[in-house]
Amino acid sequence: MTIVSTIRAALLAGCAAALFTASAGAQEIRGWNTHAPDYPVSVAMDHFAALVAERTGGRITPKTYHSAQLGEQDQAIEQMQFGGIDYAVFNLTPLNNLVPETQVTTLPYAFRSVDQMHRVVDGPIGAEIAAAMEQVNMVGLAWYDSGARSFYAKTPLASVEDLKGLKIRVQNSDVNVAMVEALGANATPIPFGEVYTSIQSGVVDGAENNWPSYESTAHFEVARHYILDQHTIVPEIFAVAKTTWDKMTADDQAIVRQAAIESAGLQRRLWAEREAKSEAIVRAAGNTIVELEDKTPFIEKMKPVYDKFVTSDKLRDLLARIQATE
Ligand code: GTR
């Protein structure tokens, strides 16, 4: 070792020690997110991280890994249970098979509008569903938007009849499988990140999603026919792993909860803007967009899904209270 390299090594060791001291007691927590960094969910999660770091004086520094860097949603749900991920924003549909209470929010036409969905999740029913997340080691803190989901395909979709016989990608949920099968189509659960190539290569003929996801994933470039049947309005939950949560002091829990709630306020504002922007991009690309004055044919065909999943008194009661919400 030359003198110079010895000095350099000593300096580096000193720096590392200094860094270690500065960060003693600081806790970096890891967040999972499936979307690209400019998506409303992503921007809001970054806002959450900044608020928590600032309000804890750097004791807790959340870092969100966007674009499914930490895996697809199903893996992330597992990792929340085993400690690999500390917080995440999850669409409720892929939680259906694990947390039965989430199924009612995924049923076709369970909500009448996004506003009504907000009134449900922001009130006691939302608190009840958030509490049910404890079954998967999660503490639900706030609700994000993800608009209404509609079908898109490579072939024209003018009415519900055009979905018959098509292979449609769904999220990993038995409710979604049953919903698509009720239309006489074939449901194929595929992770979000693989949908583009699956449509492009013909593994499936189409999928279903909201305007921002249809656009941000470029699915609209490979499946150019979008029918606005708006079958589901599925909320997304900001959740912290219970093991991570239980290690925080009550003061830190209050800071984290408040930051999640504020981030949801931002996300909902950004969501409305992004919906309009995504719609404009897709329309400018010349895609066929079918607006439906009357959704009855979809509602009628999807009714059997209720008989299949709303089978306990608990779910019947939960659904009745959702439907009774103005
Ligand atoms: C998006 C949602 C994602 C993911 C995706 C999907 O709208 O924000 O969390 O669930 O849909 O279709 O898999």
Buried b (16+ CB within 10 A) or exposed e, 196-224: bebbeeeebbbbbbbbbbbbbbebbebbb
Q: Does residue 95 carry a pLDDT above 50?
A: yes
Structure tokens at 152: 């898109």
Residue 122, Cβ density class (10 Å: 0-12 exposed, 13-18 middle, ≥19 buried): middle
Indicate whether 206 and 165 sit together in one domain.
Answer: yes
Residue nearest to atom 3 of ligand 1 (CA): 91
Which residues lie below 8 Å from residue 300, measured CB to CB, with a gap of 6+? none
How confident is the prediction for the chain on average, in pLDDT? Answer: 93
User: Strand pairing partners for 30?
Assistant: 63
How many angstroms is it from 76 CA to the middle of ligand 1?
Answer: 13
Query: Within 10 Å of residue 116's Cβ, how many Cβ atoms?
Result: 16
Q: What's the confidence (pLDDT) of residue 160?
A: 98
- The pLDDT tens digits for 271-281 are 999 999 999 99
Q: How confident is the model at residue 88 (pLDDT cuts 50, 70, 90)?
A: very high
**Rounded alpha-carbon distances, angstroms, from residue 312 to 93, 203, 309:** 19, 36, 8
Q: Which residue has the higher pLDDT, 8 or 289?
A: 289
Q: What's the confidence (pLDDT) of residue 26?
A: 83
Indicate whether 242 and 289 sit together in one domain.
Answer: no
How many angstroms is it from 24 CA to the middle of ligand 1?
Answer: 37
Indicate whether 282 and 201 sit together in one domain.
Answer: yes
Q: Does residue 20 carry a pLDDT above 60?
A: no
Residue nearest to atom 2 of ligand 1 (CA): 91
**Rounded alpha-carbon distances, angstroms, from residue 101 to 209, 300, 317, 325:** 22, 23, 11, 17
Query: What is the maximum span of the chain, computed from C-alpha positions, in angstroms?
Result: 82
Q: Does residue 17 carry a pLDDT above 90?
A: no
Total number of domains constituting the chain: 2
Atom of ligand 1 nearest to the CA of 94: 10
- The pLDDT tens digits for 234-260 are 999 999 999 999 999 999 999 999 999
Q: What's the confidence (pLDDT) of residue 114?
A: 95
Residue type, 281: I
Q: What's the confidence (pLDDT) of residue 113?
A: 96
Q: Does residue 16 carry a pLDDT above 80?
A: no
Indicate whether 299 and 160 sit together in one domain.
Answer: yes
Pocket test for ligand 1, best of 192, 268, 271 (most atoms within 8 A of CB): 192
Contact (CB, 8 A) for 48 and 259: yes
Rounded distance between C-alpha atoms, residue 107 and residue 111, angstroms:
9
Indicate whether 15 and 119 sit together in one domain.
Answer: yes
- Could you tell me which of 207, 235, 233 has the C-alpha nearest to residue 220? 207
Ligand 1 contact via 146 beta carbon (within 6 Å):
yes
How many angstroms is it from 300 CA to the middle of ligand 1?
Answer: 25
Indicate whether 158 and 289 sit together in one domain.
Answer: yes
- Three-state DSSP class for residue 283: helix
Residues 128-151: what's their mean pLDDT? 97
Pocket test for ligand 1, best of 209, 232, 270 (most atoms within 8 A of CB): 209
Q: How confident is the model at residue 5 (pLDDT cuts 50, 70, 90)?
A: very low
Indicate whether 302 and 260 sit together in one domain.
Answer: no
Q: What's the confidence (pLDDT) of residue 31?
A: 98
Q: What's the confidence (pLDDT) of residue 3?
A: 42
Q: Supply the range of the domain harboring residue 298.
A: 149-233+277-324
Q: Does residue 22 carry a pLDDT above 60?
A: no
Indicate whether 206 and 308 sit together in one domain.
Answer: yes
Rounded distance between C-alpha atoms, residue 152 and residue 214, angstroms:
9
CATH of the domain at 181: 3.40.190.170
Q: Which long-range contacts (CB under 8 A, 24 or more apart) does 320-325 make?
A: 321/125, 322/104, 322/105, 322/110, 322/111, 322/120, 322/125, 323/110, 325/116, 325/119, 325/120, 325/123, 325/125
Ligand 1 contact via 210 beta carbon (within 6 Å):
yes
How many angstroms is it from 192 CA to the middle of ligand 1?
Answer: 7
Ligand 1 contact via 263 beta carbon (within 6 Å):
no
Indicate whether 282 and 270 sit together in one domain.
Answer: no
Q: Does residue 8 carry a pLDDT above 80?
A: no
Indicate whether 72 and 11 sit together in one domain.
Answer: yes
Pocket test for ligand 1, best of 42, 146, 195, 217 (most atoms within 8 A of CB): 146
Ligand 1 contact via 192 beta carbon (within 6 Å):
yes
Indicate whether 185 and 215 sit together in one domain.
Answer: yes
First to last CA, the chain: 76
Residue type, 300: E
Rounded distance between C-alpha atoms, residue 193 and residue 198, angstroms:
10
- The pLDDT tens digits for 157-183 are 999 999 999 999 999 999 999 999 999
Indicate whether 66 and 171 sit together in one domain.
Answer: no
- Could you tell me which of 172, 144, 114, 322 has the C-alpha nearest to residue 237? 144
